[in-house]
């Protein structure tokens, strides 16, 4: 893995963002490392899903327990949206890696 991709993985690897719309928007973010996983395998994808879901549940739980009266999150939607965003980022990083690998082998 080249240093550029490794750096990107460290910075934005599966960044979980909770974006919910109500009377105002609340965003929480956390990094979840997937660097040690091979997302092209079933085992790696399962491990990634477990890590991402655990973080999504933690972040959404924090929002649900917050004492901010103007914000009442829908926990299930929060977890679903957070996982969808995290997977989109993970897939984009995987595609970038595959593109670089393909370009390197054709040179």
Run of H or E residues at 17: strand 16-17
Does pTM surpass 0.75? no
Give the per-residue pLDDT at 53: 94
Q: State which residues of the chain have pLDDT below 50.
A: 1-4, 6-7, 9-23
Domain count, the chain: 1
Rounded Cα distance between 85 and 80, Å, is 9
Give the per-residue pLDDT at 16: 36
Full residue range of the structural domain in which residue 55 is found: 3-105
Give the per-residue pLDDT at 52: 93
């Amino acid at each position: 893995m080249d240093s550029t991709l490794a750096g990107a993985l460290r910075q934005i690897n599966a960044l979980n963002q909770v974006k919910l719309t109500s009377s105002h928007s609340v965003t929480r973010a956390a990094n979840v490392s997937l660097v040690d996983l091979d997302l092209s395998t079933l085992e790696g994808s399962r491990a990634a899903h477990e890590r991402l879901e655990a973080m999504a549940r933690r972040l959404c739980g924090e929002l649900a327990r917050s004492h901010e009266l103007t914000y009442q999150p829908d926990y299930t939607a929060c977890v679903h949206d957070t996982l969808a965003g995290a997977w989109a980022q993970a897939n984009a990083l995987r595609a970038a890696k595959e593109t670089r690998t393909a370009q390197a082998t054709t040179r």
